[in-house]
């Protein structure tokens, strides 16, 4: 007896392909949500990794079968990521450093991967936005819980500076990736998100995040106004100045941000004190400059900065807290000291490639109001650059992962749909 199996015709195959694509899109949405919502939770990004891998496995067959042209922007992001990894890998090989130094730089490969996944699945960034709101709420709850337990500065499982910078990234997404409509409910939700973020930053006691936070608030107050923009700019500047004065004059705020110690901290550096935040950063910049001057092109080696600190004059006479630091607390100084001008070029590529792709999309789509994925990328890059003046953003896994994942997903969703014979698909 011969049993005839049903033949899967073109319509059945198309239906399966459509279902697979829908599931991949749903998983990509959940991946974006979990990345933002669980960013400040210990090992929270592992959920994102599983969802992203599953979405990629489902999306690949359709992408391979369609053979549609990939946007040039994705190749640019891939080249930028490979360039950054290559710069660090060459420095590692020349210095004989362990493979562990590639841990954070290799995460740059997530940038084109996330961009491709968002582009090929056409996933909406509402998942990332809802995730950012959830993440801010979780960060607020964690901060309140830690302060109630007597912790001096809220930090989750990271250090307070990294924690505050993660919250700032979530705030950027919540503010600039929000829906375009301007209803009362959305305004109330936005106000709550801003309050939560500011409370968390205050409880973290991080001063380095304040310029980036000010930049976000300034852009929010000024950028969305088409009328009376200069009046709004003046009002925003006055508001920020008032907040700055409050930080200096309100005893609790001044103590939380250690502004009352600022004068003693700076003056202490003149007599060799390097164990306070400001004096330590000044000493680190001095060590970085000396390393850069010795080898301007290639630097001292990607894994050698901690050794340079130990060998500095600050650690000759006594063992200090400063001597246990491992990076320069400044991205430009860190990459310049360890990898020279080549490293500075790698850092510039990491910032400028996404910024160029986003700016080109803004110009092409005439996106004058700073809302949407492309504008969010511009603000993320800007806040990272500002925060990188006081913290080595890419020396920490959390801040590195947040940058490449968020920027990648946002850029992928901002790119135009697939093209079939010149027609959008």
Tell me the two tokens of residue 122. 């056409």
Q: For residue 246, count other CB atoms closer than 10 A to its CB.
A: 11
Name 313's Cβ contacts closer than 8 Å, sequence gap at least 6: none
110 neighbors 405 (Cβ within 8 angstroms): yes
Maximum Cα interatomic distance, the chain, rounded to a whole number of Å: 97
Burial 215-240 (b: 16+ CB within 10 A, else e): bbbbbbbbbeeeeeeeebeeebeeeb
For the question of whether the overall pTM of this predicted structure is more than 0.85, the answer is yes
Question: What pLDDT is recorded for position 254?
Answer: 59
Write out residues in the chain with pLDDT < 70, as ranges. Answer: 1-13, 223-237, 239-240, 243-273, 275, 318-320, 418-425
Q: Tokens 């130990």 label which residue? A: 310
Q: In the prediction, which pLDDT does 270 show?
A: 63
Spatial contact of 222 and 229, defined as CB atoms under 8 Å apart: yes
Location of structure tokens 């979530």? 170
Residues of 163-183 as b/e, b for ≥16 C-beta within 10 angstroms? bbbbbbbbbbbbbbbbeeeee
* Backbone dihedral angles phi then psi of residue 272, each to the nearest 5 degrees: 90, 10
Q: Exposed/middle/buried for 346, CB within 10 Å: 0-12, 13-18, 19+?
A: buried
What count of residues does the chain have?
425
């Amino acid at each position: 007896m011969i049993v005839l199996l049903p033949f899967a015709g073109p319509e059945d195959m198309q239906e399966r392909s459509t279902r697979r694509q829908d599931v991949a899109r749903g998983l990509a949405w959940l991946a974006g949500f979990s990345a933002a919502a669980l960013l400040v939770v210990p090992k929270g990004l592992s959920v994102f990794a599983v969802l992203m891998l599953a979405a990629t496995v489902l999306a690949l067959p359709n992408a391979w079968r369609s053979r549609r042209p990939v946007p040039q922007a994705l190749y640019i992001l891939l080249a930028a990521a490979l360039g950054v990894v290559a710069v660090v890998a060459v420095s590692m090989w020349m210095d004989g450093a362990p493979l562990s130094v590639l841990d954070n730089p290799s995460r740059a490969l997530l940038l084109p991967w996330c961009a491709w996944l968002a582009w090929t699945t056409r996933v909406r960034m509402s998942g990332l936005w809802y995730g950012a709101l959830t993440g801010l709420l979780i960060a607020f709850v964690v901060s309140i819980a830690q302060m109630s337990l007597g912790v001096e500065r809220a930090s989750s499982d990271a250090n307070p500076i990294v924690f505050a910078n993660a919250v700032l990234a979530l705030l950027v997404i919540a503010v600039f990736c929000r829906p375009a409509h301007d209803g009362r409910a959305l305004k109330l939700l936005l106000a709550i998100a801003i309050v939560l973020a500011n409370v968390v930053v205050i409880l973290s006691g991080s001063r380095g995040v304040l310029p980036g936070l000010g930049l976000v608030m300034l852009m929010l107050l000024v950028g969305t106004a088409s009328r009376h923009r200069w009046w709004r700019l003046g009002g925003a500047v006055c508001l920020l100045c008032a907040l700055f004065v409050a930080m200096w004059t309100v005893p609790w705020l001044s103590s939380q941000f250690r502004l009352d110690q600022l004068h003693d901290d700076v003056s202490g550096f003149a007599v060799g004190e390097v164990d306070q935040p400001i004096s330590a950063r000044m000493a680190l910049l001095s060590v970085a400059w000396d390393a850069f001057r010795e080898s301007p092109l290639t630097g001292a080696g990607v894994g050698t900065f901690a050794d340079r600190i130990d060998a500095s004059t600050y650690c000759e006479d006594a063992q200090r807290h400063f001597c246990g630091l491992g990076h320069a607390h400044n991205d430009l100084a860190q990459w310049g000291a360890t990898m020279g001008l080549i490293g500075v070029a790698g850092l510039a590529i990491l910032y400028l490639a996404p910024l160029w792709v986003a700016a080109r999309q803004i110009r092409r789509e005439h996106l004058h109001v700073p809302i949407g994925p492309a504008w969010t990328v511009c603000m993320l890059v800007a806040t990272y650059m500002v925060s990188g003046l006081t913290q080595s953003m890419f020396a920490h896994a959390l801040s590195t992962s947040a940058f490449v994942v968020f920027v990648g997903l946002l850029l992928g969703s901002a790119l135009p749909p697939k093209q079939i014979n010149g027609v959008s698909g």
